[in-house]
Structure 1
Amino acid sequence: MQTLPAPLRPTAERLFGERLDLAERFVSLLAEQGPERGLIGPREVERLWERHLLNCAFMADAIDDAAPGARTLADVGSGAGLPGVVIAIARPELEVTLIETMQRRTTWLEEVDAELGLGLEVVRARAEELHGTRSFEVVTARAVAALDKLARWTLPLVAEDGHLLAMKGSSAADEVDKAQKVLTKLGGAPPTISRYGVGEVEVPTTVVQVRRRAKATRKGDPRG
């Protein structure tokens, strides 16, 4: 079992609360099966807690800031379950949908859901295939694509006044600059960049938040 480092325990307890045991079980599954199933690199096993689990768990803080009353969330390109499974553990009140294109990864996600009893919906599809048929109050993504390309895939899945929360690294500001026109065209409000976990972990989590504007209603429209 992959042991939670003592210095990180207070942060893990804050983020996962009474469901910390589920997070620990997920880490063990990743450590035992992740490398052989091509989900994570062998070198990542030793730093699963800080660089992966907690890095993703800080998304719970981002959700609390952006959309505290949200009920539905989709994670695009879920892969090994980062951050979708982690968010589902930290925020059990959310209805979490994991969207992934590769069969071996959706199989893994379904097995994790069965093992941990998280009540996830796992969908094998490209995000674009769901445009016009599915929408969510929050859409998340981690290390999927540059923000301009990611926005084309994900913003059409975001409900009006919902939020795209994209985990990014040191290039976040540059990506935001390059994606401004695309974001505006897709109905995105001016994005903000926030960092979570400052003072708690060595490398904080950088999140680009984009709210999808509600469409203006025409005068006399009964929806207005």
Structure 2
Amino acid sequence: MKKKGGIFQNCFMVEVSKLNKQLNKKCGMNGKVYEIQVDELVKEWGFSLSLGVTTNIPSDLTEIYCGVKLKESWILHGISLLKNGKEIGSYSLNACTAQVGDKLGIMKASDSTLHFYLNGIDHGKAFSNLPEESATVAGAQVAIKKSSNFSGRPAEWNVQTVCEFIKSIPNCAPYVEKFRSEQVNGAALLALDKKDLKEFFEMPLGLAVNVCLHLKKYEEKNK
């Protein structure tokens, strides 16, 4: 049986389309926590941050303005729990408290309940009796500009994950293809210093230092 369901996004569907495709491959797997990491917040938006699941086919959602209005959806909208677009209660986690570097997670348990996570902490059951074909993935709308799908120890990253990490650092996207063409995996990235990045990758010193600082900060947070 072909699974249906997916991520609802709002204004930044194009920017996170790659993330959507990767997560949708994992739909239907109970008991697995899926996370997105917040890289940058768009402070100009005054809407609540939302994440959740839907049985809608992702390709059908491109003209949906706001995910919270979707039918066949179970959404945490700020602190409110919305089922099929209608508020049914509140939750112990306020999604709007997520800051840069935080990880928002979602899990469909084997008992068909839906749980939300912040930085690996389960905040308990949010919804019950989810259908078998709902997607066990997370999506963030409106308040998040970019989300990244790298996780785990940097030493274990493959080339693609390194590229996602470099792309997530402000002003470093133009250098991603260089890392890809040179087949820089996580172990290789850890061996590089700011001098290597400046001389071989032709990065300005400020960007080279920033890459090293981001990597160090990520390592410390994920020990």
Normalised-by-shorter TM-score class = under 0.3
TM-score, with length taken from structure 2: 0.26
TM-score, with length taken from structure 1: 0.26
Q: Which has the larger radius of gyration?
A: 2
Between 1 and 2, higher relative CO (CA 8 Å, sep ≥ 6) is seen in 2
